[in-house]
Amino acid sequence: MRTLEFPSALAIADSYLRKTNQPRERLEAMVAEPQMGKAGIRNARLVASLADGRSESWGESEARAAMIELGFQMPDLQVPYQDPVTGKWYRADFSWNLGDAGTVIGEMDGLLKYSDSSITGGDTLLAFVRERQRESRLTIGGRSVMRFTPTQVKDRPFFESLLESYGIPRVEPLTGWKALR
């Protein structure tokens, strides 16, 4: 966390919290006073303060890092939404409640969900249909679904434009990060 670029450092911190089921405060304590004076410790402290174990994948963490770096409001993670038709619960990767402007759900789309037979059950078309039905249920009540891929996240101008297009509010962008190269 002290020496990596911000997106990778955040992904590692998120993964640590998710896999150990530790609270953020534990990670913050690990980079507190005993680490004073070590190169990059300010970076590690910044990452620890932003880490969230609810992030379910490296890609989701990198997407959140991009949002932070670009100065967009932090989303809530893994928000449950109930399908009013079937009663089934779905979790959204990212969610922003924009008040009167509604809710925007962000979904990180990797290709595995359509190509890995252990996920598709051997039927890519059925996996695609299930995903389309899931999205149609998530949009009930006026919610918008914003989809993006890991490649699109890495294309910062595109990703910034996408977030702006969906009305995600701006906040102060990441400051205080010092590249150690």
At residue 177 the predicted structure's pLDDT band, cuts being 50, 70 and 90, is low
Q: Which of 24-33, 59-68, 74-83, 84-93 has the lowest mean pLDDT?
A: 24-33
Q: Which of 6-20, 82-96, 107-121 has the lowest mean pLDDT?
A: 107-121
Phi, psi of 50 (to 5 degrees): -105, -10
As a three-state string, the secondary structure of the chain is CCCCCHHHHHHHHHHHHHHHCCCHHHHHHHCCHHHCCCCCHHHHHHHHHHCCCCCCCHHHHHHHHHHHHHCECCCEEEEEEECCCCCCEEEEEEEEECHHHCEEEEEECCCHHHHCHHHHCCCHHHHHHHHHHHHHHHCCCCCEEEEECHHHHHCHHHHHHHHHHCCCCECCCCCCCCCCC
Does 37 have pLDDT greater than 80? Answer: no
Does 77 have pLDDT greater than 90? Answer: yes
CA distance linking residue 146 with residue 139, whole number of Å: 11
Average pLDDT of the residues of the chain: 89
At residue 68 the predicted structure's pLDDT band, cuts being 50, 70 and 90, is very high
At residue 39 the predicted structure's pLDDT band, cuts being 50, 70 and 90, is confident
At residue 32, the pLDDT reads 82
At residue 179 the predicted structure's pLDDT band, cuts being 50, 70 and 90, is low
Of 136 and 127, more confident: 136
Does 180 have pLDDT greater than 60? Answer: no
At residue 118, the pLDDT reads 67
Does 115 have pLDDT greater than 70? Answer: no
At residue 119, the pLDDT reads 64
At residue 122, the pLDDT reads 72
Does 149 have pLDDT greater than 80? Answer: yes
